[in-house]
């Protein structure tokens, strides 16, 4: 006969295994949750950079032993061969690397491949702040052997603006001598705080913006003509649509002003700050042809065309946006004309300086610019007697018509100035 002590304690055994199973289950669950959190954090950090990339372009893999990437990846012990020494000489500028890489790998002026952009950005050392933009600070930086670049830093709250401006700079066949040269775009950990920074890296122009240059300097008629010609050429290139397999959509700037134009060493200019641009691609059939940014901002109030101020512009019409750019162009040319020295010149002033406050509201600009008043900046009487300024004055006034459809187009202005402005300088 069995005693009670001979009967196995089933309840005790089951409790033990249940506890063991519960511990294993909880440990497994905790490990899965931790791994999921790490994956989400990693994806979130890299997501900033990945989302702006064009989905219709393959990622180009660049072998590290290719000559084109060697100047971007110098060894800590110095060049290891004659070829690498040549590639690392001062003649190998970032601009030349960008152009050569684009031609070799993308062939369409759409910027460096992603791997090259990220390599370059990690070799740039910020030096000092040179400006404050709408979305963040602009820094002067140095790359490798001291070549200077401009670094526009966006905070994460302005991620959409960073993505949009990067996307515009990566537009096929955009590169042009009168459009600010794009180098790279990347996310970086902050130098001081742990907050992620979104970098947009471009050519650096030490003379600064056209606005700052005109404040401190006057122009000869020849310098005025070169500046005007380059700005108009840049805007005409933006506006022009190239219909081809690897063509270029038409682009309207929507924030053209003297502060968004840079002065190069030869005193020609290039147009920058493309974050508010709209694009038009007539070849697209599967989606809207007009590509608008994801915000409702449309430029600087002082430079807005009358049809934008009174909300009469057809926002879905690309020609209307180009006409608004031409109005803004007229104001920029007026600023340049006032600082042209032909024996006398005017103090620098912003457009409508004598009609509105220093920081005008939309309503204030609307009262001044729109009908029935329709005020425009005054061209000095002396411009009539100076051939080069007389040519400029006629073009400026044809940019200012209240009806956008009556204004000159950028290609027409380019042609007009080519035929008349430079010839008039010799008689000024």
Residue 280 in contact with residue 318, Cβ under 8 Å? yes
Residue 145 in contact with residue 97, Cβ under 8 Å? no
Neighbours of 397 (CB within 10 A): 14
Residue 174 in contact with residue 194, Cβ under 8 Å? no
Q: Which two tokens stand for residue 278?
A: 């709209």
Residue 337 in contact with residue 392, Cβ under 8 Å? yes
Cα–chain center distance at 301 = 20
Query: Distance between CA 231 and CA 262 in Å, rounded?
Result: 10
Burial 92-115 (b: 16+ CB within 10 A, else e): bebeebbeebbeebbebbbbbbbb
Residues 6+ apart with CB under 8 A from 87: 67, 70, 71
Cis geometry, peptide bond prior to residue 122 (ω within 30 degrees of 0): no
Query: Distance between CA 133 and CA 140 in Å, rounded?
Result: 14
- In the annotation, is 325 catalytic? no
Q: Which of the residues 158, 186, 255, 281 is marked catalytic?
A: 255
List active site positions: 255
């Amino acid at each position: 006969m069995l005693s009670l002590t001979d009967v196995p304690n089933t309840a005790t055994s089951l409790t033990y295994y249940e506890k063991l199973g519960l511990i294993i289950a909880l440990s497994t669950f905790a490990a899965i949750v931790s791994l999921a959190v790490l994956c989400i954090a990693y994806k979130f950090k890299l997501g900033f950079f990945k989302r702006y990339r064009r989905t219709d372009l393959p990622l180009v893999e660049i072998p590290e032993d290719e000559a084109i990437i060697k100047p971007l990846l110098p060894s800590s012990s110095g060049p290891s061969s004659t070829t690498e020494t040549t590639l690392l000489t001062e003649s190998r500028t970032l601009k030349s690397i960008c152009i050569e890489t684009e031609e070799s790998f993308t062939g369409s002026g759409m910027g460096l491949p992603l791997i090259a952009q990220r390599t370059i950005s990690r070799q740039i050392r910020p030096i000092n702040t040179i400006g404050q933009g709408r979305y963040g600070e602009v820094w002067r930086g140095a790359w490798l052997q001291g070549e200077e670049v401009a670094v526009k830093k966006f905070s994460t709250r302005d991620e959409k603006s960073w993505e949009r401006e990067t996307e515009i700079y990566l537009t096929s066949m955009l590169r042009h001598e009168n459009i600010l040269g794009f180098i790279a775009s990347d996310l970086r950990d902050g130098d001081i705080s742990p907050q992620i920074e979104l970098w947009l890296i471009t050519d650096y122009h030490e003379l600064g913006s056209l606005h700052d240059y005109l404040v401190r300097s006057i122009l000869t008629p020849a310098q005025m003509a070169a500046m005007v010609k380059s700005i108009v050429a840049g805007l005409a290139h933006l506006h022009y649509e190239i219909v081809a397999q690897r063509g270029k959509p038409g682009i309207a700037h929507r924030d053209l002003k003297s502060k968004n134009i840079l002065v190069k060493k030869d005193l020609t200019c290039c147009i920058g700050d493309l974050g508010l641009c709209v694009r038009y691609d007539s070849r697209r059939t599967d989606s809207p042809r007009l590509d608008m940014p994801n915000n409702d901002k449309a430029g600087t109030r002082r430079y807005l065309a009358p049809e934008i101020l009174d909300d009469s512009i057809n926002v879905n019409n690309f020609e209307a946006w180009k006409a608004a750019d031409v109005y803004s162009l007229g104001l920029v040319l007026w600023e340049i004309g006032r600082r042209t020295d032909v024996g006398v010149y005017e103090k620098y002033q912003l457009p409508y300086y004598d009609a509105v406050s220093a920081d005008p509201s939309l309503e204030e600009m609307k009262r001044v610019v729109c009908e029935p008043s329709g005020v425009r900046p005054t061209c000095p009487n002396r411009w009539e007697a100076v051939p080069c300024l007389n040519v400029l004055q006629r073009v400026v006034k044809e940019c200012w018509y209240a009806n956008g459809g009556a204004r000159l187009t950028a290609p027409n202005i380019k042609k007009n100035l080519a035929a008349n402005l430079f010839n008039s300088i010799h008689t000024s």
